[in-house]
Amino acid sequence: MPRTLVTGAGGMIGRATVDHLLARGVPVTGLSNVPFAAPVGARVVIGDARDPAVVAGALDDVDAVIHLAAIPSPLADPPEVVFALNTQATFTVLDQAGRAGVRRVALASSYAICGLPFAPHRLSMPYLPVDPALPLQIHDAYALSKRVDEETAAMAHRRYGMTVVAMRLPFVGDTGRLTAAAERFRTEPEAGANDVWSYLDARDAGRAMVAALSPAEPGRHVVYVAAPETLAPYPTDDLLARFHPGTPRPSFPGRMAPIDLTLARDLLAFTATHIFEVRSA
């Protein structure tokens, strides 16, 4: 059976993605720049996703790619390193995949591409809910790298006829990470304003990346995914009135996440199933 290559397989989302593929009976090759405890049945390649020779070797017998390898924020590395590593890895993986005849790719983009999470000063949303047409306000190297990654996906689609889905992932966490964030948003709701308090369980992130390999329509797509409710214990409308005043928007009942998830549902048949139980305020 043809296998799927998962880059960044040793990371949190990478591990969840590999687990989900193996559970479905799909052979997996996991590419990682550091050794990791791979599940039984996964082939492991240790190497740099920026290296064409490493990537070409990892693509042996592969018919689909899930590209996750990246520096996940601009906070721990110099901006020139974040931008250069992320964009070079994405170009190398997609270009080598195209040359190898791979025609299905899911790419990890980010909600942070909107510009708010890592901006040096407070920004306002142009409108809500967040959707793929939202004007971007990029102020940092990480968001810029994701914008270039999405343009690389467009290039791969045009050059190789590849179907590529760029998934704009929100804050992703396991139970411990989500618990800590939820508690912070309970006591400091302003801490989640730039992310509109959105999140996704790592297991759902893995499912979403796999779903992105089989969109209902071929082509190049950009899709937001998130849990349907926020990680804050307060009504969404109250939070938005306080932290995004004046932003054009409809009403969001209860704790509804102010992100348009229609495309994830209609194009990918994906909805989050691991919903975090938020403690009341």
Tens digits of residue pLDDT in 112-160: 999 999 999 999 999 999 999 999 999 999 999 999 999 999 999 999 9
121 close to 78: Cβ distance less than 8 angstroms: no
Percent over 70 (pLDDT), the chain = 100
How far apart CA 222 and CA 236 sit, in angstroms, is 25
Q: Mean pLDDT across the chain, nearest whole number? A: 97
pLDDT at 123: 92
- The verdict on domain 3-113+129-173+201-226+258-268 having CATH code 3.40.50.1100 is no
Determine the average pLDDT of the residues in 189-212: 98
Looking at residue 240, its amino acid is L
- For CA atoms 186, 188, 189, 191, give the dihedral sign: negative
- What residues does each domain of the chain span? 3-113+129-173+201-226+258-268
Q: What pLDDT band is residue 37 in, cutting at 50, 70 and 90?
A: confident
Distance of CA 256 to the CA centre of its chain: 20
Q: What pLDDT band is residue 40 in, cutting at 50, 70 and 90?
A: confident
Determine the average pLDDT of the residues in 85-89: 98
Is the pLDDT assigned to residue 212 strictly greater than 70? yes
Determine the average pLDDT of the residues in 191-214: 98
pLDDT at 237: 98
202 close to 174: Cβ distance less than 8 angstroms: yes
Q: What pLDDT band is residue 241 in, cutting at 50, 70 and 90?
A: very high
CB neighbours (10 Å) of residue 246? 9
pLDDT at 209: 98
Is the pLDDT assigned to residue 1 strictly greater than 70? no
Which residues make Cβ contacts (< 8 Å) with residue 39, sequence separation at least 6? 18, 19, 22
